[in-house]
Amino acid sequence: MAELQAIIDEIVIIQNAITPPTDEKDVTVYDEPPETPTVYPSFINVERDTETIEHSPSFMITPYIIDMHLVFGAFAKKYAYRSKRKWLQKVRDAFAAKLTLNATATSAMILELDFHPDGFTYGGVEYDATTFTLHATVKEAVAFAT
C-alpha cells in the first residue's frame, strides 16, 4: 500500500481529470500548497492531522484526512454560489468512481463538505471556496518484530 505522498499524487491525478462543468474553466491543481493561489478555479490539497493509527499482530490501519479546497477566487458571494453548485457533483462523481484511489488506499471517500458561506481564509486572504474532506484509509500487512 501507499504512503501519504502516493495518496496525494493520486488525488491530483483524479482532480486533473475532472471535466469542468458547462461554462466553467479547467481546474488548476496544486500538489504542494501555494503561498497564494493565482489561477481559478484551483484545488489546494492539505493533509490534516490523522486519526489514531490502529495496530494488530498482522496489520496496521492508517487513516489520512485530506482537505481538498476548491478555490474560486477572491471572496464574492454571487460568483461563488453559482460555481460551487456546478462543481459539486463533478467532484463527488470523480472520487466516487475511485474509491481506492486506484489502489493507493484501502478506501477513500469524501465524508464532509464545507461551502464557506462567509469566506475561506488561506494565507491571510479570504477566498470563495468549497472544501471536500476526503478520508482515506490504508490497511497493510506488517510483521512486527518480537
Identify which has the larger pLDDT, 135 or 52.
135
- Contact in structure between 106 and 138 (CB atoms under 8 Å): yes
pLDDT tier for residue 145 given thresholds of 50, 70 and 90: low
Indicate if the pLDDT at residue 1 is higher than 50.
no
pLDDT score of 81? 73
> Residue 24 in 3-state DSSP?
coil
Report, as an integer, the average pLDDT of 106-134: 92
Query: Which domains does the chain show, CATH number per domain?
Result: 4-141 (3.30.2000.10)
**Nine cell digits for residue 30:** 496544486
pLDDT score of 135? 95
Alpha-carbon span 65 to 59, nearest angstrom: 20
What are the tens digits of pLDDT across the range 98-107? 999 988 899 9
